[in-house]
Structure 1
């Protein structure tokens, strides 16, 4: 007696064990519902295999460093260099050696919901992590590049464990720790990608709070970037404490 379509679906999608013989047997099942499930299943397997390959590629630097004897590798990344308002935010993350989160990559390539979901997993499973912010007043005093380095330096210094190697996205820090700087590191290193996600989620949540305190600017939508909505609100409502006064066009508005 053949399985019902519902039973086929359960057998395909509710087990972690692959059954290639069962899948092969479905190819001769002429029911349209079964063939539809088979296409869905094969698409899922293809996607998982692609994500597994991406995970393997994104752990190459971590594996290489561990093979060289490094035991505590921190990934670092930042968000918020370009906005006209709000802080620049950096995160440092040390992941366990067996950490796997399929689909984790540069935070800009993930949806808001997926970033928040991943951030929760990263926080729960990380050996250690920190998130640091440098706000508009400090940015105006230092400049954005130095502020970014300061946020990242604080993130490393405030980790609860000592690190013996840093993986960074196109940056080096004046710290007595060996470092590897990678161009587009958040797409090449799982640890940097994890820090990218934590920093992005933290900054977005901060700007949501700013939006509640200063309604009308649209901070929860543009998170401080110079969109038309933001520029129009600036002309109407004026400059407030979160705005970077050393950035144009903010600078032009207050001169």
Structure 2
């Protein structure tokens, strides 16, 4: 047994994006016609027209531009906003599917109870959680090096066990989360050569927060992509760290955990 459900987005408690409506929008994008799209879904032309009206009314921007009359019931095209709406829904749908798969794995259908509710709702304390993509997996007899790429196209490596790769079902092109603690992020003011740590992320110091004994360093490695390092106050002063300074965040591959 397994869990199955469809994804519906609400606007002011009113359903406006359902799987069938997304299929209608995809068909309109392909056919350039509401009537042709309605036949593909399938649904009546009246229902399709009303669905388009409802989507346009409930969204902050026009999703479908339509022209009445003409052979075949008039033409219709998706706006850029509409195209992005489809892409966003597809991403949400994929995550929704993963959620249901995880819920299925955590449920004991013989007793009707969750095997581990704490595990299912677990929050983690690690400050740094980066969305990354797997670009390669290199395995030996026991361990695996997971080669990752950040949004800013910088490379990272995480060393985990082969068993973890199998348990998580990791594969190339998967979008996952790289997780590491802030006190495992070292700071270098230049790209050090001959260093054993495999991960050296280039970035700019965005903020420095000093306490009596430590310094929290907020590092921007790309727009809307930041990581945090916590080092001693003495180390920060010796390095003469300044906001706006270019630095390298250095992390051991064994300190990077994988979340999926």
In which range does the TM-score fall when normalised by the shorter chain? under 0.3
More helix by share: 1
Normalization by structure 1: what TM-score? 0.28
Structure of higher RCO (CA pairs closer than 8 Å, 6+ residues apart) = 1
Q: Which structure's CA Rg is the greater one?
A: 2
More strand by share: 2
Normalization by structure 2: what TM-score? 0.27
